[in-house]
Amino acid sequence: MPLSSLGWDDFFARQFAPYSTGGFLPARVALEHKHAYELYSAVGELAAECTGRLLHTATARADLPAVGDWVVVRVRPDEARACPEQRRRADIHAVLPRKTKFSRRAPGSPAPDSRPNYVAIETEFGQRSGEQVIAANLDTVFVVTALDSNYNLRRIERYLAAVRSSGAMPVILLNKSDLAADPAAARVEVESIAIDAPVVVLSAARDANPAHTLAPWLAPGRTVALLGSSGVGKSTLINRLLGTARQRIAATSAERDLGRHTTTHRELLITPSGALVIDTPGMRELQLWDVAAESLDETFADIAALSAQCRFHDCSHRSEPGCAVQAALDDGSLDLGRWQSFQKLRREQAYAARKADPRLERENKAAWKKIHKTARQIHRAKYGE
């Protein structure tokens, strides 16, 4: 399999250059399982482990390989193989820099509010880090919503912000078009918040060929993932995109225990068109707190533009004179729900940024201490001890 069909390009070739001598090969992570990895490479599938040195020098969990990563490996000598079909074994020496990544916070950095499906990551690295990469090097992320009771513009905004902060390009899929009374109207409404993200209406279950509809993002070697609430049709769509490929995987999984060269469980899957689909439990459980400030501004470009028109550059958009945001809310050109959604995301983002940066957290604590002290002084001056 040529590397380009696995997503290899000039960017990764440049990162690999320092390793081009010394018997190293590039390979792409298809599955991570307790520090054992399944890789795709130009010499076929590999079963790999990190070298002791890589484990030792990793200061954060995010320094270790994740699904979708390009890694630098050395294949172990051939004689170790018991039979020709057995997968070759390899050692992972390094992780190449990522083009894009989806991360989540590891334990020790609590969520802004209680998150029922937050999964504690219990590994020897869990305690060291604030970040765990759950998928790397995605080109496109399909933000999937169903045109039924799941349909919610505010949720789409949150997913868009998450995708933009990952660096991948978002495409909004409005699924279950067969259940919608007026799919065209829904598309117009979603386009109003999509900024530059394409909006596609489809039925993963009923359309004759969903892969054809999504062809612009499924070119050979392009990597996509799906994001959306449970029940919106992500599995249905992935199965349709893979065609019979996934069934074949299921049929051969019994052979896994034999260590045979078979397509067993993978989280990086190859569609018949040659696109790569990442489907991990982590992506399915992704929480939307790790959103960067810039991606909020992109997602809410209309609000950013309004803020720039306020009379005061540090306007808090509450009661200042000449506030363009309040004016837009008053005349209805800015939807109140959208404004509240933006504020909520911004508060969460600020909270996450403070948690990730101890200095900001200390400054915040010091600021509050000062406020409390001042409040006490005022109270004392007014009412005595």
- Whether the Cβ atoms of residue 91 and residue 278 lie closer than 8 Å to each other: no
For tokens 């309004």, name the residue: 306
Per CB under 6 A, contacts with ligand GDP among 235-254 are 235-236
- The strand ranges marked E within 34-161 are 36-41, 44-50, 70-75, 88-95, 101-105, 131-136, 140-146
Write out the DSSP string of 85-110: TSPEEEEEEEEPPPSSEEEEEPTTS-
Q: Does 315 bind Zn ion (CB under 5 A)?
A: yes
Binds 103: which of ligand GDP, Zn ion, none (CB < 5-8 Å by kind): none
Residue span binding ligand GDP (CB under 6 A) among the ranges 56-64, 73-81, 170-178, 286-294: 170-178
Q: Does 325 bind Zn ion (CB under 5 A)?
A: yes
Identified binder of ligand GDP from the candidate list 4, 59, 152, 230, rule CB under 6 A: 230
- Whether the Cβ atoms of residue 48 and residue 32 lie closer than 8 Å to each other: no
- Please tell me the distance from the alpha carbon of residue 342 to that of residue 291, in angstroms, as a whole number: 12
Q: At closest approach, how far in Å is the CB of 345 from Zn ion?
A: 18
Q: At closest approach, how far in Å is the CB of 325 from Zn ion?
A: 4
Q: At closest approach, how far in Å is the CB of 323 from Zn ion?
A: 3
Binds 291: which of ligand GDP, Zn ion, none (CB < 5-8 Å by kind): none
Query: Amino acid letter at 340?
Result: Q
Identified binder of Zn ion from the candidate list 27, 64, 186, 323, rule CB under 5 A: 323
- Please tell me the distance from the alpha carbon of residue 316 to that of residue 300, in angstroms, as a whole number: 16
Binds 204: which of ligand GDP, Zn ion, none (CB < 5-8 Å by kind): ligand GDP
- Whether the Cβ atoms of residue 232 and residue 285 lie closer than 8 Å to each other: no
Residue span binding Zn ion (CB under 5 A) among the ranges 113-121, 124-132, 297-305, 307-315: 307-315
Per CB under 6 A, contacts with ligand GDP among 172-211 are 175-176, 178-179, 203-206
User: Which residues face 224 on adjacent strands?
Assistant: 140, 277
- Please tell me the distance from the alpha carbon of residue 4 to that of residue 335, in angstroms, as a whole number: 45
Residues that bind ligand GDP (CB under 6 A): 175-176, 178-179, 203-206, 228, 230-236
Report the interface residues with Zn ion, using CB under 5 A.
Answer: 310, 315, 317, 323, 325
